[in-house]
Amino acid sequence: MSNDPRFFAFLKERIGLDVASVGEAIIERAVRQRIQATHGQTPGEYWQLLQSSHDEQQALIEAVIVPETWFFRYPESFATLARLAKARLSEIKQMRALRILSLPCSTGEEPYSIAMALLDAGLAPHQFKVLGLDVSPLSVERARRGVYGKNSFRGGDIAFRDRHFTESADGFHVVDHVREQVRLQVGNLLDPALLANEPSYDFVFCRNLLIYFDQPTQKQVFDVLKGLTHVDGVLFIGPAEGSLLGRHGMRSIGVPQSFAFSRQGAPDRPEPVFVPVPAPPTPRTAATLPTKPRPFSTVSAQVVPIKAPPSDASALLSRIATLANEGKSAEARAACEQYLNNHPPAAQVFYWLGLLSDVDGSALQAQGFYRKALYLEPQHPQALMHLAALLESQGDSAGARRLQARAARSERADSESKR
């Protein structure tokens, strides 16, 4: 495809996607897939088809969008929602049902999690309604089916599955009393007429979307989100997006790891960045790593790291990921220190320490840990993107762009190596 800018511009216009946020390789791969699927010969022929077919336009968007979600992702957000919902009902004297919006709702895990959380908190069905919106008709259709595989249930606590799902040969089905609380429909956040005649929402979930837009589009989308959120409402965003909202006058409500923002009564700094990610792959063994201590290692030069077996290192990294994703910051940090005391330095460990420092509000410390991760692994994708977000929040736009470009190049090189 040789970096054909027409496809980048099309996705920017239709869904606001900033190519730098995902890397050119992702879009190039999607175009190649669609050329093959439509039996095309050249990017030029496919471009002509794209211009004449609404169905193909949607198919390309679907090929670029890869939903990655699960039930009760970022659990503290749902616990916080339950507490705020009860308080909000009291404020409005229960004169109406709470209105809750989830967009993009992807394949439905988030809006159904919202409904389950509020029902489990004791709210009656007539006290709230949830609307889920997504630009992808295929995702919305999957959400309406309400049938999920085991990959949608992650983390240590999945007791909710026994309460709100029935199991059959094709998967786990959302029960009717949850489905009835959720309405699902196709919608594009860049559409100026989106929900134009609807009342505002008490709670809006829009997570992990703004990071894929350039700054002008972020501002456009934020204005839409602000208009959809009641003046006394709360906006839940993604872990890496707090600094973006902070620039537009929104402030964290002050509940750690809830990623919840309001217009009023806010502390000065935005909620810190924290992104749960899957446990990393098995690390390299001690034999393949340099034995000379790194200049920033928390292990002193006089201490020789204990040579634990690789399986122990892998298990400990998995434990760090689990503890951090469950919001157990102190335990996760202790596990990181345990790793560094018993194994050679690892980029993933310093990355986790950077995230944990962000959660604690220690931006400078977080920046140091991210740089340590990049010293060990210069193209560590998550460290690049999160350090970029941190620099952007501190006003270093040029530094942020350089790191984003590095991350995009890394993604492109990784994609090409797999061809």
115 and 182 Cβ atoms separated by less than 8 Å: yes
- Encode pLDDT of 157-190 as tens digits: 899 999 999 999 999 999 999 999 999 999 988 8
> Letter for the amino acid at 323?
L
- Is residue 344 left, alpha or beta, with left meaning phi > 0 and alpha meaning psi from -120 to 50? beta
324-328 contacts, C-beta under 8 A, 24 or more apart: 324/274, 324/276, 324/352, 324/355, 324/356, 325/155, 325/276, 326/75, 326/155, 326/156, 327/75, 327/76, 327/256, 327/257
Q: Which of 101-105, 168-172, 405-409 has the lowest mean pLDDT?
A: 405-409
In the chain, what are the domain boundaries?
5-64, 75-262, 286-293+305-417
CATH of domain 286-293+305-417: 1.25.40.10
Residues 190, 15: contact at Cβ < 8 Å?
yes
Q: What is the rounded average pLDDT for all residues in the chain?
A: 80
Element (H, E) at 164: helix 160-164
Question: In angstroms, rounded to a whole number, what is the distance separating the alpha carbons of residues 232 and 296?
Answer: 46
Q: Which CATH architecture has domain 75-262?
A: 3-Layer(aba) Sandwich (3.40)
Q: Is the pLDDT of residue 377 over 90?
A: no
Regarding predicted confidence, which is higher, 265 or 194?
194
- Per-residue pLDDT of 297-351, as tens digits, reads 333 333 333 344 445 888 888 888 888 776 777 888 899 988 888 888 888 998 9
Q: First and final CA of the chain: distance in angstroms?
A: 14
172: its two tokens:
């786990």
Q: Alpha-carbon distance 89 to 127, whole Å?
A: 8
Residue 104, preceding peptide bond in cis (omega within 30° of 0): yes
> Is residue 374 scored above 80 in pLDDT?
yes
Nearest to 269 by CA among 360, 149, 352, 136: 360
pTM tops 0.75: no
pLDDT digits (tens, 9 = 90+) for 203-247: 999 988 877 787 788 888 888 898 899 999 999 988 767 767 766
